[in-house]
Amino acid sequence: MINLLKIRDAVALNGRTDARSLSHQFSAPLAMVEAMLKQLVIMGKLEEVDASSCLSGGCKQCPETQKCDTKAYQLALKK
C-alpha cells in the first residue's frame, strides 16, 4: 500500500520527479499520487519545481514547452 512516507522517500531518492513517474513506480492511480504530492507540499515536506528550471535544459528544447504543465517535485529546503 502506498503512503505519504513512501512518496516522500521516492522523491528524495530521485532528487526531482513528477506524479506520472511515481504513479508508474508504485502502480497507483495518478489522481491518488497527485493528491499525496499536494498534501506533502502543504505539509512543507516537498516543493513544486518550475518546469523552466529543468536542470538538463531538455524542457527548453521540447516543442511542447508551451503546452507542458507537468509539475516536478523535490524535497523542500529547510529554512
How far apart, in whole angstroms, are the C-alpha atoms of residue 36 and residue 6? 10
Query: Could you report the per-residue pLDDT of 19-40, keeping only the tens digit for each?
Result: 999 999 999 999 999 999 999 9
Cell numbers 529546503: residue? 77
Structural domain containing residue 59: 4-75
CATH code, domain with 8: 1.10.10.10
* Mean per-residue pLDDT of the chain: 84
How far apart, in whole angstroms, are the C-alpha atoms of residue 12 and residue 19? 14
User: Who contacts 28 (Cβ-Cβ below 8 Å, separation ≥6)?
Assistant: 2, 22
How far apart, in whole angstroms, are the C-alpha atoms of residue 48 and residue 1? 24
**What is the model's pTM?**
0.78
Total domains, the chain: 1
How far apart, in whole angstroms, are the C-alpha atoms of residue 14 and residue 11? 5
